Structure 1
Amino acid sequence: MNGKKLRKSSTDRIISGVCGGIAEFFGISSLAVRLLFIIIPSNLILYIILAIIMPEE
């Protein structure tokens, strides 16, 4: 493993930084991650859980 950890983004955040953190971890666009959370309604529950349990950057 390269030492990367999944954390909320401190720079790319709109609500809590969850999507920005996921995008930074996988090296993809945060817009793509946000669209996935919007398109699939059940992801709202996952987003709330991640916002609570993901550590800050």
Structure 2
Amino acid sequence: MTSPAPYRLRRDSRNKVIAGVCAGIARRYGLSTSGLRLAFVLSCVLPGPQFIAYILLWVLIPAD
């Protein structure tokens, strides 16, 4: 008996706020969508390339 195939990493076009990146990552890894979005927003107050990483993921992760 085989287990169901895991979700592929895709941007979630039905549950998106901006581009569906956080929703797609949350769905793929079984995380809370709102928790991941909150973590991303909170990480934006720290110095680093968060916005650049989000834009790169937006471009690189295909939509579902």
Tell me the TM-score range normalised by the shorter chain. Answer: 0.7 to 0.9
RMSD: 1.3
Moved over 3 A (4+): none
Paired AA for residue 4 in structure 1: Y
How many residues get paired?
56
Does structure 1 residue 51 correspond to structure 2 residue 31? no
Q: Is the 8 A contact 1:37 1:47 kept in 2?
A: no
Q: Which has the larger radius of gyration?
A: 2
What are structure 1's unaligned runs of at least 5 residues? none
Percentage identity across paired residues of the two chains: 36
Paired AA for residue 53 in structure 1: L
Counterpart Cα distance in 2 of 1:15 and 1:26: 19
TM-score after normalising by structure 2: 0.76
Of 31, 37, 41, 1:34 maps to 37
Match of 1:11 in 2: 14
TM-score after normalising by structure 1: 0.83
